[in-house]
Amino acid sequence: MSEPALTMRQLALTPRWIALLVLALVVAAVFAWLGKWQVERAIIQGAKDSYDTEVAVALDRIAQPATPLTTDAAGRRVTFDATLDPSSLVVVGNRVNEGAIGCWVTGRLVGASGALAVALGWAPTIEDCQTTKDEMSGEPIIQALVTWTGRYSPPEMPEAPGTSSDPRALDYMSVAALYNIWPETSSPVFAGYVIAEHDIPGLKRISSTPPISDASLNLLNVFYAVEWALFAGGAVFLWWRLLRDDWERRTEPD
């Protein structure tokens, strides 16, 4: 004997389908919350990418010595009131500047808050860098603080020297490696280094480009938010589809 004919509305009001509707709404609410969270992540990431990396800010505002370098600080133009220590000058090789391979003359800036590695300038040969380094090392130490401006950059990972290279040569801009070469100091050291924007006799300014913001990350978060909204609607649609299939089965002739 067939079951009594019910309208779809009457069937939807039965305890079983009301319970399934509540379950579908709970699942839809969870998906909607996840979509809201993805939208908030997109807004937060967009806010992080919105600051102007080309407006120089005081280094102490965005970084502290003896702490890890953050993504918000990396690549920004900064200012730092400090004195260059001539005894800390080190030549770093294998440096590319505007497509040409050469070297950097680097050093240590000492300020009130700590010490900061600095790339002073570029030259095409190690001999040129060494000559400039020797000339700067022989200059008298000036105790007055100077406002240095440049781009704050993350350090490079240390590398093992090659079999054919000079093991004493430094071919990477590692703050940790420079710290071991510098004269001993009690000042804490910043994790990154600054590419100076000052004209140093015998050296060419190092070309530095602003960091590229990852706009694709924001679009990906928005896509996920839309996806969660579709899932939320799909949960309710699935309940309706199952209800309709049940109603059609009940109302079909035997």
Q: Does the residue 2 lie in any domain?
A: no
Q: Is the pTM of this model over 0.85?
A: no
Tokens of 248: 């059609």
Task: For residue 48, name the pLDDT band (cuts at 50, 70, 90).
Answer: low
**pLDDT at position 157:** 82
Same domain, 175 and 222: no
Same domain, 178 and 91: yes
Same domain, 83 and 107: yes
**pLDDT at position 84:** 93
Q: Does the residue 96 lie in any domain?
A: yes
The pLDDT of residue 58 is above 80: yes
Beta bridge partners of 100: 97
Q: Does the residue 245 lie in any domain?
A: yes
Tokens of 222: 């928005």
Place of tokens 């480009």: 209
**pLDDT at position 9:** 81
- Please state whether beta strands 146-153 and 115-123 pair in parallel, antiparallel, or not at all (unpaired): unpaired
d(CA 183, CA 177): 12
Q: Does the residue 154 lie in any domain?
A: yes
- Please state whether beta strands 189-196 and 115-123 pair in parallel, antiparallel, or not at all (unpaired): parallel
Same domain, 171 and 97: yes
Give the count of domains, the chain. Answer: 2
**pLDDT at position 46:** 59
The DSSP output letter for 144 is S
Q: Is the dihedral of CA 158, 163, 168, 172 positive or negative?
A: negative
Same domain, 171 and 68: yes
The DSSP output letter for 168 is T
d(CA 123, CA 205): 9
Same domain, 163 and 227: no
**pLDDT at position 227:** 87
Q: Does the residue 146 lie in any domain?
A: yes
Q: Which conformational region is residue 202 in: left (phi greater than 0), alpha (psi within -120 to 50 degrees), or beta? A: left
Q: What is the CA radius of gyration of the chain?
A: 32
Same domain, 63 and 189: yes
Same domain, 109 and 184: yes
pLDDT digits (tens, 9 = 90+) for 129-176: 999 999 998 776 656 789 999 999 999 987 665 544 555 578 899 999
Backbone angles phi, psi at 84, to 5 degrees: -75, 130
* Domain, as residue range, for 157: 57-196
> Under 8 Å CB-to-CB from 97, ≥6 apart: which residues?
122, 204, 206, 207
* Ranges 1-5, 115-119, 129-133, 166-170: which has the least confidence: 1-5
Contact between 8 and 21 under an 8 Å Cβ cutoff? The reply is no
Same domain, 219 and 247: yes
Beta bridge partners of 46: none
Give the number of other CB atoms < 10 A from CB of residue 171: 16
d(CA 179, CA 170): 12
Q: Does the residue 34 lie in any domain?
A: yes
The pLDDT of residue 96 is above 60: yes
- Please state whether beta strands 100-111 and 77-97 pair in parallel, antiparallel, or not at all (unpaired): antiparallel
Q: Give me the helix-helix angle, 215-251 and 15-49, nearest 10°.
A: 170
CA 38 to chain centre: 19
